[in-house]
Amino acid sequence: MEIKKEGNFSEWYHEVLEEAEVVDARYNMKGALVWRPFGFQLRKLVFTHLGNLMEATGHQETLFPLMIPEGQLMKEADHLEGFSPEVYWVTKGGDTKLEVPLAIRPTSETAMYPMFALWIRSHADLPLKIFQTVNIFRYETKHTRPLIRDREVSTFKEAHCAHADQAQVDEEMALIRDAYNRFMDALCIPYIISRRVSWDKFPGANVTYSYDQVMPDNKTLQNATTHDLGQGFAKMYDVNYEDEGGKQQLCHMSSHGISSRILAGMIGAHGDDKGLVLPPLFAPVQIVVVPIVFKGNKEPEAKALELAGELSGEYRVECDCRDRSPGDKYYHWELRGVPIRLELGPRDMENNAVMLVRRDTGEKRSVPLDSLNQVLEETMLAIEHDMRKKAWARQDKAIVAAQSVDEVLDAEKKGFVAKVPLCCEDCGKALEDKLGSYEVRGFIVGEKPKGNCVECGKPAKELGLLSNAY
């Protein structure tokens, strides 16, 4: 790595993706990228974990077609208005102009709900909860950025649910929030949950909640969204059910999603000047064993292979016996975020010990081989705990509580994220108009405002989250 993270986050981010072989953005299409084998493993570990959480909360995995017929996409007016500038269209098959143009899914509400209408008959069929992991396409006109803003979002884990009533929706929203919280905690990523303001919510939704993370450049990254879709979609797609009294009722819908962007969040939160720093749970290689061969003494190599073999039952382990200097090897694995390195040289062998080095802190200690298993277990947990703590502390430091318009302006000038007491959306909009590129991201969930609305002086009801956003 040549670029320092502090003060050069964007350049650092591009360099680390390339050098650590996560993705390659040189594919000959703007906003599309190639997952390299190392990055693919990382992606797989992250999204398998999320899939397990979705299944544990009662969602079943499905797979829907990539293309959506024009009329079907166009049915929900708000949804269409929100997405139409970004939709890719297939208009020809070979040389033949298609009678019905086909949209490439920008998201799958309109692909799924006509099928829901066929599947759902009675209240006993509800809630219906499914998810799929697919690529989605959006013709982004803003500056594209690998994993953060792609035209082909290569991984989107989207859940879609039909419910009998608002109580079932609320139950689902709470379940998803709990699952997403646990997912972010596993990734050691900090988050702020907010209710999106009406001009920024998901097109067609009643309410959108989102998870924002403050990135190292103090811009917020929206990592996850969860939507109460109300009955609008159900009405347009005839998603009905027969209630217990035999009456036809309209379903309520909800949808929830996390994309490959979450990897940008994880990489951004934890990486350093040496490269990636990965939470042990998701590191494709959790432990690397490096033999220190000295004056042609190959014994450490044999011992390192043996040790790696023993540990591979419990962990994802590599033994690096390549003919390179230890320094080169350290560089290679530090770049790829391997949480623990075990060095094994002649002196360590004499002491019946290994040198354990933590990637996140650089801390080094000699560990007797007979207590290695326990120390590894404790160290993995300590790394996860410390990474989470550090990332939250970094985020907290980036946020200021502003109590007046001047303080908001000052926060923007100094590049902080601001929490701002407001009374309503209108005052949020009025405040936004006085600012530069700062946006009202939403009203923070779970935190009460103190004092009065900075815009009108009436008692505040909401705590606005203001920032520059990706």
Instruction: Return the range that interacts with Zn ion (CB under 5 A); candidates 110-118, 366-374, 396-404, 454-462.
Output: 454-462
Task: Please say whether the beta carbons of 32 and 152 come within 8 A.
Answer: yes
Q: From 38-46, 161-169, 197-205, 453-461, give the range in contact with Zn ion by CB under 5 A.
A: 453-461
The residue among 401 and 456 lying less far from Zn ion, judged by its C-beta, is: 456
Interacting span for Zn ion (CB under 5 A) from 225-233, 265-273, 281-289, 418-426: 418-426
> Position of tokens 């200097």?
325
Least distance (Å) between residue 406 CB and Zn ion: 16
Q: What is the x/- site pattern for Zn ion, positions 189-228, by CB under 5 A?
A: ----------------------------------------
Of the pair 81, 426, the CB lying nearest Zn ion is at 426
Q: What torsion, rounded to 10 degrees, do the Cα atoms 437, 440, 446, 449 define? A: 100
Q: Which is nearer to Zn ion, 67 or 424 (CB)?
A: 424
* Residue position matching structure tokens 């499905």: 62
Closest approach, Cβ 175 to Zn ion, in A, equals 34
With respect to Zn ion, which residue has the nearer C-beta, 344 or 453? 453
First vs last Cα of the chain: how many Å apart?
A: 24
List the structure tokens of 361. 């802190």
CA distances from 459 to 88, 117, 448, 450 (A): 46, 45, 12, 9
Q: Which is nearer to Zn ion, 150 or 462 (CB)?
A: 462
Is 455 a binding residue for Zn ion by CB under 5 A? The answer is: yes
The answer to whether the Cα torsion of 391, 397, 398, 403 is positive or negative is positive
Q: How far is CA 144 from the centre of its chain?
A: 17
Question: By CB under 5 A, is residue 427 in contact with Zn ion?
Answer: yes
Q: How far is the CB of 193 from Zn ion (least distance, A)?
A: 22
Q: Does 405 bind Zn ion (CB under 5 A)?
A: no
Residue closer to Zn ion, measured from CB, 102 or 453? 453
Residue 400 lies near Zn ion (rule: CB under 5 A): no
> Which of these segments, 233-241, 284-292, 370-378, 425-433, binds Zn ion (CB under 5 A)?
425-433
Contact with Zn ion (CB under 5 A): which of 136, 229, 258, 453? Answer: 453
The count of residues interacting with Zn ion (CB under 5 A) is: 5
Q: Are strands 67-69 and 60-61 parallel, antiparallel or unpaired?
A: unpaired
Kindly indicate which of the ranges 68-76, 119-127, 248-256, 450-458 contains the residues binding Zn ion, using the contact rule CB under 5 A: 450-458
- Nearest approach, Cβ of 196 to Zn ion (angstroms)? 18
- For position 423 contacting Zn ion by CB under 5 A, the verdict is yes
Residues 325-354 that bind Zn ion (CB under 5 A): none
- The interface region with Zn ion, picked from 93-101, 142-150, 291-299, 455-463 by CB under 5 A, is 455-463
Binding mask 246-285 for Zn ion (x = CB under 5 A): ----------------------------------------
| CB of 210 vs Zn ion, minimal distance in Å | 22
456 sits near Zn ion (criterion: CB under 5 A): yes
Q: Is 159 in the site for Zn ion (CB under 5 A)?
A: no
Cβ 443 to Zn ion shortest distance, Å: 12
Is the CA virtual torsion 397, 398, 403, 409 positive or negative? positive
Q: Residue 129's beta-bridge partner residues?
A: 161
Alpha-carbon gap, residue 260 to 262, rounded angstroms: 5
Residue with Cβ nearer Zn ion (262 or 460): 460
Beta strand 207-214 pairing with 220-230:
antiparallel
Select from 11-19, 282-290, 333-341, 415-423 the region that touches Zn ion (CB under 5 A): 415-423
Told to check if 454 binds Zn ion by CB under 5 A, we report: no
Q: Which residues bind Zn ion (CB under 5 A)?
A: 423, 427, 453, 455-456
